[in-house]
A and B are shown apart, each in its own frame.
Chain A
Amino acid sequence: MRKVSLDSINKVFGKISESNKLYLPVDGSDGVAVYTEWSEGKEWSNALNTVRSPKDFFFPQVENLMEFKTSGKNIELVDIRDEKEDFVIFGVRACDVRSFDILDRVFLSDPVDSFYASRREHGIIVSVACSKPSETCFCTTFGIDATNPAGDVTAWKTEDSVYFKANTEKGEAFMKKIEDLTEECDDSAVTAQKEKIAKIMEKLPLANLSADAFGGGKTDTFFNAPEWDELSATCLGCGTCTFVCPTCQCYDIKDFNTGNGVIRYRCWDSCMYSEFTKMAHGNNRISQKERFRQRFMHKLVYYPENNEGIFGCVGCGRCLAKCPISMNIVKVMKKIGGNKSE
């Protein structure tokens, strides 16, 4: 394990930026943390997490797939992909790191999504353990340890230092770059922090939330539950939940007419929208209740069924904080799952 004093962390960022683009949570003008490219003067945010999840780096909200340029009768096909260099994402929380695994299972399974794969290959993830969980956190429900996140490098931030441990080859290469800025150390401070935070996690209001009622094979159990009517009654269908969610992965492919050609791009879509992936016929889920039900069944039943029991939710709590009407997966789990979820 190696460490650097918190005062010198900017030197680390500076060193890394010399060879790679470095992104980390920085407080924006509205006081909310957002992943920003580091440059001299930018301070690593103290916020628990960002509103926009880091899935944006591998699965951007808008990704240009290709461009057709027309001139007269000629059509030229242009490859406009842009991610060709290694980059570092620093400060990713355990929940968001798990979300990358969930997205990998979708995008990297056959046929492999080459856009996602290329970004994933170029990305180096430095995760940071949480030190001040929020009441909206429930990552433990899905077996995620906030005190020991996965990633190419795992980091822990204490009051005066940042500790690093490389987990993969990419991680080792990262650590090599900052070798002369860091020093060898034992893991006693990290162990102490892990214990302290684990105790706090136990006291979180949602600590006892269990996902046992859900999982693969439960489609028939829950599909026709009468509670869906009540839960979806006031859903606005706005899609905020899908856009802040680190695991939502649906997208639409659209053509934009530039006036002298077409750009084909992929953009996030939301199953909450009535125009979801509309092609010819229209949305097969014509009521908001059906769309609402679809989203939660996907995360709690369909995804685990297709993915060896792994749930499609990581307990990051963003939907709890951002839904305009405060509906979220926790309320759904408790209502539909009955006592088993308490």
Chain B
Amino acid sequence: MQVKEYKPLIVAFCCNWCSYAGADLAGNNRLSYPADVKIIRVPCSCRVNPMFILRAFQRGADGVIICGCHPGDCHYTSGNYYTRRRMAALFSMLDFLGIEKERTRVEWVSAAEGAKFAATMNEFAETVASLGENKRLEDLRCKR
């Protein structure tokens, strides 16, 4: 029986105006990052509900990253400020429950930062790969 080598499944919530465009730019410039990074486009990073993050882990994600515009440059003026507070609180709580802190991250990527996007994804995927599969927030019913 062939055992598939473990590759981390990363879910990246990218805001439409900055980080998604940044991802596009990375693609245009043929900068590679792992195919296991699944991008979900949201209008603004503050659209991300903590339930989305837990749901991603439930459905098999090993790492979740939220990308948005740089603070001060939000397309909707202040959305990412709320993201910052919300995710700070949530990440601290996840850490409190013993979930590995390296599995979650917030990164600010602008539309011009294609290289940063690819570099971030590569680095994040590597970090999550070294942690192994997500066991603490997994839902066995959803295993493939």
Contact = CB atoms under 8 A, between A and B. Distances in A.
Indicate, yes or no, whether A interacts with B: yes
Interface of A: 256, 258-260, 263
A255 to B, nearest CB: 12
Nearest to B59: A259
A121 B111 CA distance: 65
Nearest to A256: B141
Q: Nearest 5 pairs between A and B by C-beta?
A: A258-B142, A259-B59, A259-B142, A258-B141, A263-B141
A15 B141 CA distance: 35
Contacts of A259: 59-60, 142, 144
Contact of B144 (A256, A260, A263): A260
A193 to B, nearest CB: 46
Contacts of B142: 258-260
10 contacts: A256-B141, A258-B141, A258-B142, A259-B59, A259-B60, A259-B142, A259-B144, A260-B142, A260-B144, A263-B141
Name which of B59, B60, B141, B144 has the most chain A CB atoms within 10 A of its CB.
B141
Of the candidates A256, A259, A260, A263, the one having the most CB atoms from chain B within 10 angstroms of its own CB is A259
Interface of A is mostly: loop
A290 B60 CA distance: 42
Nearest to B139: A258
B64 to A, nearest CB: 16
A256 B140 CA distance: 12
A263 B141 CA distance: 8
A259 B142 CA distance: 6
Interface in B85-132: none
Nearest to A263: B141
A178 B99 CA distance: 46
A258 B59 CA distance: 7
Nearest to A67: B141
Contacts of B141: 256, 258, 263
Given A258-B142, A259-B142, A260-B144, 7 more contacts: A256-B141, A258-B141, A259-B59, A259-B60, A259-B144, A260-B142, A263-B141
A230 to B, nearest CB: 39
A260 B143 CA distance: 8
Contacts of B59: 259
B144 to A, nearest CB: 6
A17 B132 CA distance: 36
Contacts of A256: 141
A285 to B, nearest CB: 29
Contacts of B60: 259
A260 B141 CA distance: 10
A263 B142 CA distance: 10
A259 B141 CA distance: 9
Nearest to A257: B142
B70 to A, nearest CB: 34
Nearest to A64: B141
A145 B59 CA distance: 50
A259 B59 CA distance: 7
A263 B60 CA distance: 17
A291 to B, nearest CB: 28
A258 B144 CA distance: 9
**Residue with the highest number of chain B CB atoms closer than 10 Å, among A256, A258, A260, A263:** A258
A134 B59 CA distance: 46
A107 to B, nearest CB: 25
Nearest to B58: A259
Contacts of A263: 141
A262 to B, nearest CB: 10
B22 to A, nearest CB: 28
B54 to A, nearest CB: 14
A260 B59 CA distance: 10
A168 B140 CA distance: 40
